Structure 1
Amino acid sequence: MAHSRFIKDRGLTARMTLTMFLLGALFVALIVTLMYLFSGYAPIIGVIGIGIAFYQWWSSDKVAMRAMRAREVTPEEAPELHGMIDRLCALADMPKPRVGVADMDIPNAFATGRSPNRSVVCVTTGILRTLNAEELEGVLAHELSHVAHRDVLVMTVASSAGIVAGMITQSAQYGGFALFGGNRRDNNNGGALPAYLIALLLSLVVYAVSFFLTRLLSRYREMCADRAGAYLTMKPAALASALQKITGEMAAIPQKDLRSSSAMNAFFIAPAISGASLKTLSSTHPSLEQRLEQLARIQAELGRPGA
Structure 2
Amino acid sequence: MLGMNQIKTAALLGLLSGVLVLGAYYLVGNEQGLYIGFALAAISSFSSWYYSDRAALMAYRAQPLARQEAPELYDMVASLSDRAEIPMPTLFVVPTKSPNAFATGRDPEHAALAVTQGILEILTREELEGVLAHEITHIRNRDTLTQAVAGTIAGAITFAGRILTLGALYGPVTRDDRRGGNAFGALFLIILAPIAAGLIQFAISRTREFAADLGSAEITGNPLALASALEKLEEMGHQIPMNGNPTMSPLLIVNPVSTKGLQSLFRTHPPTEERIRRLQELAQQKQGTPVLV
Distance 1:34 1:194 in 2: 6
Aligned equivalent of 2:172: 181
Cα distance change, pair 87–279 in 1 and its aligned pair in 2 (3 A): farther
- Would the aligned equivalents of 1:110 and 1:121 in 2 still touch at CA under 8 Å? yes
From 61, 68, 73, the equivalent of 1:69 is: 61
Return the offset for 1:108.
0.1
From 74, 80, 89, the equivalent of 1:82 is: 74
Distance 2:248 2:230 in 1: 17
From 274, 277, 285, the equivalent of 1:301 is: 285
Aligned equivalent of 1:282: 266
Aligned equivalent of 1:24: 17
Aligned equivalent of 2:186: 200
Aligned equivalent of 1:113: 105
Return the offset for 1:10.
1.6
Cα distance change, pair 279–142 in 1 and its aligned pair in 2 (3 A): farther
Aligned equivalent of 1:190: none
- Would the aligned equivalents of 1:99 and 1:121 in 2 still touch at CA under 8 Å? yes
Cα distance change, pair 95–291 in 1 and its aligned pair in 2 (3 A): same
Distance 1:80 1:276 in 2: 38
- Would the aligned equivalents of 1:107 and 1:250 in 2 still touch at CA under 8 Å? yes
Return the offset for 1:196.
6.3
Aligned residue runs from structure 1 range 1-16, under 5 A: 9-16=2-9
- Structure 2: give runs of 5+ residues left out of the alignment: none
Return the offset for 1:199.
3.7
- Structure 1: give runs of 5+ residues left out of the alignment: 1-7, 188-192
From 225, 240, 243, the equivalent of 2:227 is: 240
- Would the aligned equivalents of 1:184 and 1:194 in 2 still touch at CA under 8 Å? no
- Would the aligned equivalents of 2:103 and 2:251 in 1 still touch at CA under 8 Å? yes
Q: Could you state the TM-score of these two structures normalised by the residue count of structure 2?
A: 0.86
Q: Which of 212-221 and 152-161 deviates more? A: 152-161
Aligned equivalent of 2:122: 130
- Would the aligned equivalents of 2:22 and 2:37 in 1 still touch at CA under 8 Å? no
Aligned equivalent of 1:219: 206
Return the offset for 1:69.
0.4
Distance 1:205 1:151 in 2: 26
Q: Which of 22-31 and 160-169 deviates more? A: 22-31
Backbone CA RMSD of aligned residues = 2.9
Provide Cα deviations, 1:40-60, integer angstroms capped at 9, x if missing partner. Answer: x99877655533332122101
Percent identical pairs in the alignment equals 30
Cα distance change, pair 17–55 in 1 and its aligned pair in 2 (3 A): same
- Would the aligned equivalents of 2:23 and 2:37 in 1 still touch at CA under 8 Å? no
From 231, 255, 262, the equivalent of 1:271 is: 255
Return the offset for 1:285.
0.9
Q: Which of 26-35 and 62-71 deviates more? A: 26-35
Aligned equivalent of 1:94: 86
Q: Which amino acid is 1:135 matched to?
A: E
Q: Which amino acid is 2:211 matched to?
A: C
Q: Could you state the TM-score of these two structures normalised by the residue count of structure 1?
A: 0.82
Q: Which of 18-27 and 30-39 deviates more? A: 30-39
Distance 2:230 2:204 in 1: 20
Query: What SS does structure 1 have at the residue aligned with 2:252?
Result: coil
Q: Which amino acid is 2:69 matched to?
A: E
Return the offset for 1:277.
6.3
Query: What SS does structure 1 have at the residue aligned with 2:68?
Result: coil
Q: Which amino acid is 1:74 matched to?
A: A
Aligned equivalent of 1:250: 237
Provide Cα deviations, 1:142-171, integer angstroms capped at 9, x if missing partner. Answer: 001111111221121123332222112223
Provide Cα deviations, 1:96-145, integer angstroms capped at 9, x if missing partner. Answer: 11111111111000011111111111000010001111100000000011
Cα distance change, pair 97–57 in 1 and its aligned pair in 2 (3 A): same
Q: Which amino acid is 1:269 matched to?
A: I
